[in-house]
């Protein structure tokens, strides 16, 4: 910290050390400047941003589809995969596809999705992100995520 100096003196000091005079805070009164290697400064900023992006986890919505007549064992196999997705931090979208005359029994689809929710552990382990509802005329969906 040098203090308040005229611009000409600051530029001379930067030239003495073979560095750049960089304005950090232009809106301050007086403006704040630093004497530093600008190329190295930009490199450090890019490196920090890259590390921050690497640490981020993007939440994906994974979809698991089944029909209202899916057997219990097949359903349990799909739920094991759904549990892996949830443990990984992703959301899971359960979709029931109705074909033909199955559309008459939409209430059975709602019961099945409620059963899936209970099989995953209920409100203690997962929370419903989007409640049970129809998408279009032949799909019933529900989105769940880990309860953190």
Which of 102, 114, 105 lies closest to 75, judged by CA?
114
Cβ atoms 142, 128 nearer than 8 A: yes
Q: Output the pLDDT for position 85.
A: 93
Q: CATH 3.10.20.80 occupies which residues in the chain?
A: 7-54
State the CATH class of domain 7-54.
Answer: alpha beta
Q: Across the beta sheet with 126-135, what order do the strands follow?
A: 61-66, 91-97, 139-146, 126-135
Q: Output the pLDDT for position 112.
A: 93
Q: Output the pLDDT for position 30.
A: 86
Q: Output the pLDDT for position 58.
A: 79
pLDDT in tens, 95-138: 999 999 998 988 999 999 999 999 998 889 999 999 999 998 99
| Mean pLDDT per 10-residue interval, the chain, length 148 residues | 86 92 89 91 93 84 93 94 92 94 90 92 90 92 90
Q: State yes or no: cis peptide before 110, omega within 30 of 0.
A: no
User: What is 61-146's CATH number?
Assistant: 3.30.110.10
Q: Output the pLDDT for position 54.
A: 86
Q: Output the pLDDT for position 57.
A: 75
Q: Output the pLDDT for position 51.
A: 92
Q: CATH 3.30.110.10 occupies which residues in the chain?
A: 61-146
Cβ atoms 45, 51 nearer than 8 A: no
Q: Output the pLDDT for position 139.
A: 95
């Amino acid at each position: 910290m040098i203090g308040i100096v005229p611009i000409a003196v600051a530029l001379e000091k930067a030239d003495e050390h073979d560095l750049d005079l960089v304005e950090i805070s232009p809106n301050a009164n007086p403006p704040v400047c630093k004497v530093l290697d600008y190329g190295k400064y930009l490199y450090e900023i890019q490196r920090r941003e890259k590390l921050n992006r690497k640490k981020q986890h993007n939440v994906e919505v994974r979809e698991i589809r089944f029909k209202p007549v899916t057997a219990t064992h097949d359903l349990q196999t799909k739920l094991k995969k759904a549990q892996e997705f949830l443990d990984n931090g992703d959301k899971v979208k359960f979709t029931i596809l109705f074909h033909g005359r199955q559309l008459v029994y939409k209430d059975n689809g709602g019961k099945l999705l409620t059963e899936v929710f209970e099989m995953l552990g209920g409100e203690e382990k997962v929370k419903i992100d989007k409640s049970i509802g129809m998408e279009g005329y032949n799909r019933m969906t529900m989105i769940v995520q880990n309860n953190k």
